[in-house]
């Protein structure tokens, strides 16, 4: 093999720059049992540190599911705190457990959840930036000049926050009811996330990040779901039919329940004999025995109103010694009476 000196190397590099010598492109080699056309093969980079075990379809289903959870949880907190609380999904991604833990503050409110009958544990982390404003609101504060302390929660503060997390678990169970009936429960709480190891560091987890806003304060909340916990029901998330099936089954039951309740509901039916206008001075001077004359004849049909809405044209009279109204026809929606 010939060894090039420095002058030959410089001349070769100059020829490549000027285009006299074309630079050879490395050929892509794909090893497979089946021969394929390289022009039609899609080659994508793969990061072995962050394997994607959950498909994009399943991730979209998880995001939609937890958007419903965010709405229900926000409504429950708004009623509990007597102020508007906005919660929305900020991000939904999969990563390793080590990456999730490394991005959390210390101290924080780190809760371990169990979702019976699923095996394993989930994590619910709530930032101190929103924890202390909620506590201040529960104790009658205004959050105007609230200082966020850098310390773990006290026993009393943990007790107060448990009333908030319990409502979150209820909303979480309602959101997952379309997939599987799960009973969420907090089994442990910790202030330092680094001390909690529910899965190996390289295990894949799904992290749903939420943004919580309370008046002039805002913070984050993260729900960490290890893949091995929801693996038994992951196929239920891949099919988009679970939205339609749940709605169809429940809509039939809801429609039947509403119909049964409405058929036994009582409504008020009144007969509108006539209408007219008078001046305010005439109204003030009215006394017993005065007669108000209208343009409607006494023998003409009356308007029958159901709960104040004009619905029918009919006649009023007597039937078996009781006042009665006989229907002639119904009033059309655009008809002027």
pLDDT tens, residue by residue, 171-197: 999 999 888 889 999 998 888 888 888
* pLDDT for position 56: 83
Q: How many CA atoms lie within 13 A of 237 on its CB side?
A: 21
Predicted local confidence at residue 166, as pLDDT? 92
Per-residue pLDDT averaged across 192-220, rounded?
Answer: 89
In this structure, the strands spanning 217-226 and 204-214 are antiparallel
Long-range contacts of 137-141 (CB under 8 A, 24+ apart): 137/81, 137/83, 137/214, 138/81, 138/163
- pLDDT value at residue 172: 92
Q: Any idea which of 26-40, 131-145, 317-331 has the lowest mean pLDDT?
A: 26-40
Q: What is the mean pLDDT of residues 221-248?
A: 74
Higher pLDDT, 52 or 125: 125
For residue 48, name the pLDDT band (cuts at 50, 70, 90): low
Most confident residue range from 22-26, 149-153, 233-237, 247-251: 149-153
Q: Is the pLDDT of residue 47 over 70?
A: no
CATH class for the region spanning 56-251: alpha beta
Average pLDDT over residues 45-70: 79
User: How would residue 297 be classed by pLDDT, with cut points 50, 70 and 90?
Assistant: confident
CA distance 113 to 116: 10
The pLDDT tens digits of the residues spanning 254-289 come to 888 888 888 888 888 888 888 888 888 888 888 888
Q: Which of 3-12, 113-122, 135-144, 171-180 has the lowest mean pLDDT?
A: 3-12
Stretch(es) of the chain classified as CATH 3.40.1550.10: 56-251
More confident residue, 332 or 207: 207
Residue 207, pLDDT score: 93
In this structure, the dihedral spanned by the alpha carbons of residues 164, 86, 115 and 62, taken in order and rounded to 10 degrees, is -170
- Judged against a pLDDT cut of 90, whether residue 222 lies above it is answered with yes
Q: How far apart are CA 258 and CA 217, in angstroms?
A: 41
Mean pLDDT to the nearest integer, 57-85: 90
Confidence of residue 336 (pLDDT cuts 50, 70, 90): confident
Mean pLDDT, the chain, rounded, equals: 83
325: Cβ–Cβ under 8 A, 6 or more apart, which residues? 269, 271, 302, 304, 314, 315, 316, 317
Integer Cα distance of 278 and 4 in angstroms? 114
Distance CA 62, CA 246 (A): 15
3-state secondary structure of 101: helix
């Amino acid at each position: 093999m010939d060894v090039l000196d420095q002058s030959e190397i410089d001349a070769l590099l100059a020829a490549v720059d000027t285009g006299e010598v074309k630079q050879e492109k490395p050929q892509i080699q794909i090893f497979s049992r089946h021969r394929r056309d390289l022009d039609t093969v899609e080659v994508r980079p793969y990061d072995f540190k962050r394997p994607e075990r959950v498909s994009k379809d399943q991730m979209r289903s998880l995001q939609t599911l937890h958007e419903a959870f965010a709405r229900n949880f926000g409504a429950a907190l708004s009623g509990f705190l007597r102020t508007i609380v906005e919660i929305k999904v900020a991000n939904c991604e999969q990563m390793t457990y080590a990456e999730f833990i490394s991005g959390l503050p210390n101290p924080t409110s780190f809760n371990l959840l169990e979702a019976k009958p699923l095996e394993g544990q989930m994590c619910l982390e709530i930032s101190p930036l929103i924890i202390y404003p909620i506590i201040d609101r529960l104790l009658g504060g205004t959050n105007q000049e609230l200082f966020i302390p850098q310390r773990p929660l006290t026993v009393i503060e943990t007790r107060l926050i448990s009333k908030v997390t319990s409502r979150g678990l209820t909303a979480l169970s309602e959101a997952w009811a379309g997939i599987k009936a799960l009973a969420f429960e907090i089994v442990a709480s910790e202030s330092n996330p680094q001390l909690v190891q529910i899965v190996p560091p390289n295990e894949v987890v799904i992290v749903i990040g939420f943004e919580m806003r309370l008046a002039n304060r805002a913070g984050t909340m993260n729900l960490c779901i290890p893949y091995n916990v929801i693996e038994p029901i992951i196929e239920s998330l891949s099919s988009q039919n679970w939205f339609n099936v749940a709605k169809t089954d429940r809509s039939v039951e809801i429609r039947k329940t509403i119909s049964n309740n409405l058929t036994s509901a009582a409504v008020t039916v009144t007969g509108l004999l006539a209408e007219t206008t008078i001046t305010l001075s005439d109204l003030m001077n009215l006394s017993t025995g005065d007669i108000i004359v209208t343009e409607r004849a006494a023998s003409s049909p009356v308007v029958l109103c159901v709960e104040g809405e004009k619905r029918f044209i009919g006649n009023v009279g007597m039937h078996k010694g009781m006042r009665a109204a006989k229907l002639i026809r119904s009033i059309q929606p655009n008809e002027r009476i």
